[in-house]
Structure 1
Amino acid sequence: MKKVFLAATLVAALMVQACNSGQSTDGTTDSTSMDSTEMSSTSDMATDTSGQNPASSDPKAFMEQAAIGGMMEVEAGKIAQTQASSQRVKDFAALMVKDHSAANKELMGIASKKSVTVPASLPANEQQHLDAMKKMSGAEFDKHYMGMMVQDHDKTVSLFQAGSKNSDADVSAFATKTLPIIEGHAKMAMEIQGTLK
């Protein structure tokens, strides 16, 4: 499915999707394999064959990437509000649900205005990751979720920086307006991650 997205420049980067489930066969989290999966998917999905991010030139590519990433942030945030043990992590998750829901709603309005159909559900690998997260709890969940948030927001900042240069005025304005919010999320995620043991 990734190849289809890549071919159609549906680079599911952004606020974006985290990784495969990261679960080993014994049910424990394997952060090493998850990190390498994320790194390879970032490079695969963030650029086209010319080395350029299609989100900077293709309005549809940006909207599709942003929609998938936004959905992932909202759904992961909902899980974190119940599975996390740290109140700071839960509060961050609530902010993710609030801010990304608002951005998603605005993005849907732009897509509708331009007759662009964006994905209404997550790709299979992102859904599998969410399903695996539902089986985690406590400190294990907190570390996993905040690590995911740091990586996702790094990708999302890059996506929205590219989107701010998009040739479509509405897409560019949306990305430019939303970018500082995402940069704030990225900073908060790094700060919270640094407090987890």
Structure 2
Amino acid sequence: MKNIQVKWWLLLLLIISTTVSSCEKEDSGNAGRLTETDFMVAAANSDLFEIQTGQIASGKGTLSEVREFAQHLVMDHTTSSNELRILANQKKITLPDSLTEDNRAIRMRLSGQSGVAFDKDFIEVQITAHDEAISLYEQATREIQDPDIRNFATKTLPILQGHRDHAVMVKSKIDSF
């Protein structure tokens, strides 16, 4: 009799451990997935950064190409930001209205520069920022489940890629000086 009870307890423990193990595997599959909220907050941060640094560069840029590129950034990212805010309101997601600490530091650094040094740093910052944004938006097109948010990411991605290409072109112009 005792032997049968031990077998039942072992079977019960085996069932429980298998159930817990399969739940852990399911959870770990979603652990790295980009959530809708995380994407929208990161996208809003990106837009804010591009708008604010673009505003600085449209006034401080030495080369006309830098100033024109900056104006495109402000215009396109303002449009994107407005669309993102409308979508966030529909989805009841709160977006940030100020820069992250790291981005504030970069903005301050840029604000303190002038001349060709400013142009070079601004363009380098834009290439890096757009690399990060492109990576974020590509991940969103693959992982976001909400069709409205995924469509926003899909529609915005080519604009970001165009900005990066434009920044590389401006960088080659700056590097020739």
1:172 to 126, 150, 157: 150
Superposed counterparts of 1:13-162, under 5 Å? 54-55=33-34, 58-162=35-139
Question: For 1:104 and 1:113, how far apart are their aligned partners in 2?
Answer: 14
Amino acid at match of 1:79: I
Question: For 2:57 and 2:87, how far apart are their aligned partners in 1?
Answer: 29
Question: For 2:130 and 2:90, how far apart are their aligned partners in 1?
Answer: 27
Q: CA deviation at 1:53?
A: 5.7
Question: For 1:194 and 1:54, how far apart are their aligned partners in 2?
Answer: 36
Question: For 2:106 and 2:132, how far apart are their aligned partners in 1?
Answer: 17
Paired position in structure 2 for 1:23:
none
Question: For 1:185 and 1:173, how far apart are their aligned partners in 2?
Answer: 19
Paired position in structure 2 for 1:189:
167
Question: For 2:43 and 2:92, how far apart are their aligned partners in 1?
Answer: 16
Question: For 1:187 and 1:54, how far apart are their aligned partners in 2?
Answer: 28
Question: For 1:88 and 1:111, how far apart are their aligned partners in 2?
Answer: 34
SS in 1 for 2:149: helix
| Count of aligned positions | 147
Q: Which has the higher helix share?
A: 2
Moved over 6 A (4+): none
Amino acid at match of 1:158: S
Q: CA deviation at 1:128?
A: 2.1
Amino acid at match of 2:38: A
Amino acid at match of 2:77: H
Paired position in structure 2 for 1:44:
none
Question: For 1:151 and 1:54, how far apart are their aligned partners in 2?
Answer: 23
Q: CA deviation at 1:125?
A: 2.3
Q: CA deviation at 1:133?
A: 1.0
Higher RCO (CA 8 Å, separation ≥ 6 residues): 1
Q: Is the 8 A contact 1:54 1:61 kept in 2?
A: no
Q: Percent identity?
A: 30
When the two structures are superposed, what TM-score results if normalisation uses the length of structure 2?
0.79
Question: For 2:84 and 2:32, how far apart are their aligned partners in 1?
Answer: 19
Q: CA deviation at 1:146?
A: 0.4
RMSD: 1.7
